[in-house]
Every structure is written in structure tokens, then in C-alpha cells.
Structure 1
Amino acid sequence: MGPPGVHRGLPSTSLTLVLPVDEPIDVSWAEGSSRARRWSVVSGLHAAPAAIRHDGHQSGVQLALTPAGARALLGMPAAALGAALLQLDELDPPGATDRQLRHLPEQLHDTADWSDRLRLVQDALVGAMAQRPAARPRSEVAQALSRLASGQSVAAVAAEVGWSRRHLTTQVSAELGLSPKVYQRVARFQTAHQLLLTLARAGRPSLAEVAADTGYADQAHLTREWVELAGCSPARWLREEFPYVQDSPVAGDDDGADGADHPRRAPKTEGH
């Protein structure tokens, strides 16, 4: 993980399930709420960063769950989790999680070989899903989520699925816990984050290129959204995640006063 510090867990269109091994994960929301050391973490969709504190080393398994995957595995829509950080045994109702899945953290901890650990996780996931009836979002909701994530306007998506904007907002919010507009913002941010990550790994980060390619009006718009959703500007995130990148200068690197609680140098890994 690099030097000890705080890693930003960035918003995305996927729910996150983390199963740490050896040591529990120290995680909270960026402002410090809901902080605890947990042996499993399930988080719903969120429009704000999480903070993962580490001593320079972490091991475990992390899964990204689509909204449909959350229904299949946990038996609940993403909205049921809200903006929560929970352990598997804290899911409500208690019967929502398969027994094998609830005991997976301790089983992982007692298993030394990584091949056996991964096989254990796979068996638990398949077993949990096999015990549930097929439960997918309404086809209109699934269609709407796909269109919203691609950048179509809320009005156009509502017209395509044959709903009013109000009904679309109600249905999407009930499925995700986010409104269509917020989900769109998170989806565009995720695309921008992935592109910036790719460019940074190639040693040529360009905020102008990211803004132009991901639908932001300009660099200033991109930076405002990053400050809002990631808790820092993209230039600051680059310095934290890729301190070795020497791009002179990163376009749009005027951080401004984002008011965020800036973490120490973070690991060179992708945040989700």
C-alpha cells in the first residue's frame, strides 16, 4: 500500500463489499462519521468519499457489486443500504444474508492459502445466490440506469421508458438510494476517474483531456465535481495517488480552497 496514510474510497456506480484478512479494515466516511475497524464492510452507493486508514499494508478481497448483483447476493436493492458502512452480520433484516456469507470473514481469517481463500469466497457467493429467487430490478429501471450512466438526460430517459420525470425519480431512488441526477454525476465522475487513472499510469495526466472526453463543460467544471464528490481536486488526488508523476504542470492544478480534510500520501491503488 505504500507509506502509512489515508486512502480515499471514491464514489462509483457499484456497491462495495470488502473482506479484509489478517487485520480488520479501519474505514469511515471522509468527515470521520461511522468510523470503525470491521472484519467485513458493505457500503451502498454514495456521493461522497470514504476514508480507509492503513499502516502501509492491507490484504483481503474486494468486490464491486452492480445494483442487480446486490439484489442477487444480498436479497435487497442498493437503496436498502443507503449511505451506510455495515458489516455483513449487521444487514437488516438479519436473514437477508446467507449464513455461509455471514461467517465468511472468520473462515477467511482461518484459511492461510490464497487459492483456498478465493475458492472459499467463490463458493460462498455462489451458495448465497443459489438460495435466492431471481430478483432483478424492473426492466424499465435497468434500462433507465444504463441510459443515465451513458449521459442521456433525465427527460430523455423518462420518455424512452414511458414514465414521467417524477415517476422515474421515484423508481430510481427506490432502487439505488440516489436520484437520477446524482447517479448521473457519480457515473460521469467514475468515467473521469478511470480515464485520469489510465493517463496517470501512462505518465501523462491531462485534466483538459479528461474534461473534454467525459462530458464536462470545461476543466473548472471537472474540478468542481471532483471537490464535491471526491473531497479534493483532481490535481490533489493525483499528487496523493501518484506522487512520482512529473507532468509539468498538471493542467488545472489550481486546487483552490476545497475545504476537505486532506489525507496523508495514499497508496498507488485505485479507489472505489
Structure 2
Amino acid sequence: MSVDGMSAALAPYVTTLAAYDLGPATAGPHRGLPSSTLSITIPEDDFVDIAWAGRPGSGRRLRAAVAGLHLNAAELSQRGCTRGVWLTLSPPGAAALLGVPASELAGEVADLADLADVVPALAGLPERLAACRSWAQRRAVVERGLLAGLARHGDRAARRTSRGTLAALSRTARVEEAARLLGCSRRHLSNTVRGEYGVTPKEYQRLVRFEAARGRLVAAARGGVAGLAEVAAASGFADQAHLTREWRAMAGCTPTEWLRTEGPSARRAPDGRA
């Protein structure tokens, strides 16, 4: 996915930059689904409450939430204004823009201002965005902050990134196939991916497959077609039952339940990702 009009320098790292609206607070928490990208959620006002679904006591209240790669659903809610700005970053984007390897954020949610090497232009984003009066202003403020982060961390991040590794995993169904494409052993691939991104190659492929299914479910719902069996086949699942099992494990609900409560017609949320 590309972001229209964004600086070419940010294109390898920023996959989404959008406004969001979680809908009325009475609608309950928004379910943040697993994804092959990291996300940054910046409420327009106040704080965002985030907890891992099914894990009592895991909740945190943050001014700007950074979620690493995760294989379980999160729950997001805002008490007052439910709008804000939402970004997703490719895994290399964590090091290039925030100065923190994606492996340090995997399975975690942190406050943007608390990241060890974050630049002031990014740490102060919530306050700068609160002063904006239009989406154009908010977008410009975010882009300036990201470019400042890239100027500080980009060269160092580029040296440690294994180019093509994630692309090979995304294009293949099995880790062995990706290793063969890359000309390395499975062990070397596993050590590289876990060390840089905090997940195993197999887990990353699960995230890619799940994300593909979510996108096709949304497209099918917008077209008025259920098509779960077709979505399962097109996304690399063995069958519809396999798709449903994986959704229960990773989203905490079935695809049909998610579409009913979080789908395109339910609320204007940030595409189901945390």
C-alpha cells in the first residue's frame, strides 16, 4: 500500500497515514487485529486505552500508542473524542523513523514519547496535532516529524535491514521456500527475522496471510458478497474451517462476527489493526 502524496523518502516505511474515528464511545472497544505492520495511534484529544483481548490487567492509558507486531487482538477505546491520526509502518520503519528495532516492540504497546531514541518532533506530535484545525495541517505535522526521525535514524537503520527478506516471506507459503529464494539456510533466516523484527518467519507469514484475508473480507462485505470459502482459498488457507480457526486464535472471534461488529458498515475505524 502506498500513501498518496507522501514524500518519496518515507515510502519504504509508512504504509498508512489516515484520520480515524472509532465511533460513539458507547459502541465499545475497537478490536485491533494482528498485522504485518506496526501502528501508531494518536488521539485527537485526551488518551487512548489499550489492552490485550482476553488478558485482564493488561490495559494501559497512553497519549500516543505504538504497537509492535503481535499475533493477538488488542482492544482500543477513547472516552471523549474518538477521532485521531493513525499510521502504520513497515517493520524496518521502526528503526528508520523511531530509532527502535521492531524486535524491541514485538508483542508490546508503548507510548511514543517513551521510546528510548525518539526525536522531539515525534515525541511532541500529540500536542502539535491538538493545535491543528484541519486534516491537511495534521498530515503535514506528522510528515515533518517522520522526516525528522528519518534524518536522525535512517542511515543506521538501512545498514541493519536485510533487504528482500520480508518480501520473500510475503511471496511464499513456506519458510523453506523463502530461504531458498534468499539463498540462505532456514536457520539463518529465522535468526535474522527474529533478531530484527521479534517474530519467527512462520509467524510473519501467518500475519501476512491473516492480513490478506482481512482485506478480502472487507472488499467482499463492501461488494455485498459473503464468500468466506473464496476468501480462504485466495488468502492461502486450506479451507474455510482453517480460516475460521485462525481468526479465532488471532482475532478472538470468527470472521463473520468481526464483520458484523467492526466491518465497513459498523464504524469508521482504522481498518481493524491495532
Coarse TM-score class (shorter-chain normalised): 0.7 to 0.9
Identify the match of residue 88 of structure 1 among 101, 109, 112.
112
SS in structure 2 of the partner of residue 76 of structure 1: coil
What is the aligned-residue RMSD (CA, Å)?
A: 2.0
Quote the residue 1:128 is aligned against. 149
Aligned-pair CA distance for 1:89:
1.9
Q: Deviations over 1:161-196 (max 9, x none)?
A: 232211211111111111011110110000000000
The CA distance in 2 between the partners of 1:8 and 1:157, in whole Å, is 31
SS at the partner of 1:16?
A: strand
The answer to whether the Cα contact below 8 Å between 1:8 and 1:50 also exists between their aligned partners in 2 is yes
User: What residue is the counterpart of 1:188 in the other structure?
Assistant: 209
2:99 to 46, 65, 75: 75
Aligned residues with identical type, % of pairs = 41
2:179 to 135, 149, 158: 158
Quick one: which amino acid aligns to residue 68 of structure 2?
G
Q: Which residue of 2 aligns with 1:47?
A: 71
Question: Are the structure 2 counterparts of residues 157 and 235 from structure 1 closer, same or farther at C-alpha, using a change threshold of 3 Å?
Answer: same
Instruction: Please say which of residues 182-191 and 100-109 is displaced more in the overlay.
Output: 100-109
The verdict on how the C-alpha distance between 1:213 and 1:156 changes in structure 2, with shifts beyond 3 A counting, is: same
User: Is 1:27 matched with 2:50?
Assistant: yes
Note the residue ranges of structure 1 that are not aligned, 5 or more in a row. 245-265
> How many residue pairs end up in the alignment?
247
> Which deviates the most, 16-25 or 55-64?
55-64
Partner in structure 2 of residue 221 of structure 1: 242
TM-fit CA distance, 1:228: 0.7
Q: What residue is the counterpart of 1:260 in the other structure?
A: none
CA contact (8 A) 1:17 1:43 kept: yes
Shift of 1:229: 0.8
Equivalence for 2:82: 58
> What corresponds to 1:16 in structure 2?
39
The 2-side partners of 1:243 and 1:20 are apart by 21
Aligned 8 A contact 1:5 1:55 in 2: no
Q: Which amino acid aligns with 2:38?
A: L
Using the size of structure 2 for normalisation, the TM-score is 0.83
Find the residue that maps to 2:165 and give its secondary structure. helix
Counterpart residue identity of residue 13, structure 1: S
Tell which structure's C-alpha radius of gyration is larger: 1
Query: In terms of mean alpha carbon deviation, does 25-34 or 176-185 score higher?
Result: 25-34
Q: Which residue in 2 is equivalent to 1:236?
A: 257
Code of the aligned partner of 1:50: A
CA 1:159 to 1:114, structure 2 compared with 1: closer, same or farther past 3 Å? closer
Contact 2:68 2:109 in 1 (8 A): yes
Q: Distance in 2 between matches of 1:158 and 1:58?
A: 43
Q: 1:145 Cα deviation (Å)? A: 1.1
Task: Say if 2:95 and 2:154, in contact at 8 Å, map to a contact too.
Answer: no
- After superposition, residues 98-177 of structure 1 pair within 5 angstroms as 98-134=119-155, 135-136=157-158, 141-177=162-198
CA shift in 2, pair 1:179/1:156, >3 Å = same
| Deviation for aligned residue 1:116 | 2.2
Q: Which runs of 5+ in 2 are unaligned?
A: 1-22
Paired residues of 2:99 and 2:153 also in contact (CA < 8 A):
yes
- Which whole-Å CA distance do the structure 2 matches of 1:22 and 1:210 have between them? 37
Supply the distance in 1 between the matched residues of 2:253 and 2:159 (Cα, whole angstroms): 33
CA distance 1:60–1:197, shift in 2 (3 Å): same
TM superposition score normalised by structure 1: 0.84
Q: How much does 1:136 deviate? A: 2.5
How far apart are 1:243 and its partner, in Å? 9.3
- CA distance in 2 between partners of 1:202 and 1:74 (Å): 38
Deviation for aligned residue 1:133: 4.2
Residue 267 of structure 1: aligned partner: 267
Q: Distance in 2 between matches of 1:187 and 1:158?
A: 17
Name the residue aligned to 1:5. Answer: 28
What secondary structure, in the 3-state scheme, does the structure 1 residue paired with 2:158 have?
Answer: coil
